[in-house]
Structure 1
Amino acid sequence: MTPPIQVLHGQPTPEELATVLAVVQSRAAARADAPARGPATAWTTRTHRPLPAPGPHAWRTSLWPR
């Protein structure tokens, strides 16, 4: 169960609060309906190595360990 949502700053109108709650609930429902993913691996994560800096030997050093 998720913890209750609290407004810490400001005084939202009922319409603003309803909008925020609708977005949060729809995101939670979408996450609950999504298929379970396996463990994160180098193939499944979206982190990639940075592109080599331009220079005369960039192509050669692009595969060097960093």
Structure 2
Amino acid sequence: MSAPEDRPLLRVVKGAPDDYQLAALTAVIAGLASVSPAEDKAARRSEWANPARRVRRPLQHGPGAWRASGFPG
């Protein structure tokens, strides 16, 4: 049994590619092997979990305050 270093990295099974075609194939395979997998995008947080929802304007006092409390300002 031969050592792993003695085995070719690529083997042509069918056809007779020239040196340029083998070089192009080797470059493509090496490029694909060196690319790291794409990282997933961060999951979008629910608006319910937004801490800014806990902050609100102070309630108004005086005449018409009940009406003003229902309208965002």
* Same-fold status (TM-score > 0.5): no
TM-score, L = length of structure 2: 0.38
TM-score, L = length of structure 1: 0.42
